[in-house]
Amino acid sequence: MKPEIKYAFEKFEPSERATLLAARDLIFDCAGDIPVEECLKWGQPSYVAPKGSALRLAVNKAGQAAIYANCQSSIVSDFAAQFGTDFVIEGNRAVVLGDFTQADQDKLRALIRHGLTYKVK
């Protein structure tokens, strides 16, 4: 992990940091052979694939860990249509992670794969 990414994670409260680091691991696990660039956007860890849309890990205004996607995309709204009753969804921008379980991980994989391949036709 690059030092600037590590520092960004260290700024989160310990409980949210643990959740966001687990989400980071899930992103890289879902990526498989897809090259993913880990960088900072707005000072927050972000993950971009060549034919995808950026996914960002951050804490919302309520202090909850969340995965953010470009609000101009349909990534979050598509996920909400499929799994919206299982997660707190913030508009077309974010999915609140909470303390996600194994069952939640399987659902979040759909969100992550969609984000990493968003521009693939």
What does the pLDDT look like over 58-107, one tens digit per residue? Answer: 999 999 999 999 888 899 999 999 998 889 999 889 999 987 777 788 89
pLDDT at 121 > cutoff 70: no
Q: What is the pLDDT of residues 19-64, one digit of tens each?
A: 999 999 999 999 988 999 999 998 999 999 999 999 999 999 999 9
Q: Would you say the C-alpha torsion 8, 12, 14, 17 has a positive or negative sign?
A: negative
3-116 — its CATH code?
Answer: 3.90.1150.200
pLDDT score, position 117: 92
pLDDT score, position 22: 94
pLDDT score, position 103: 74
Residue spans per domain, the chain? 3-116
Q: CB within 8 A of 3, min separation 6: which ones? A: none
pLDDT score, position 61: 92
Burial of 84-100, coded b for 16+ CB within 10 Å and e otherwise, reads eeebebbebbbbbbeeb
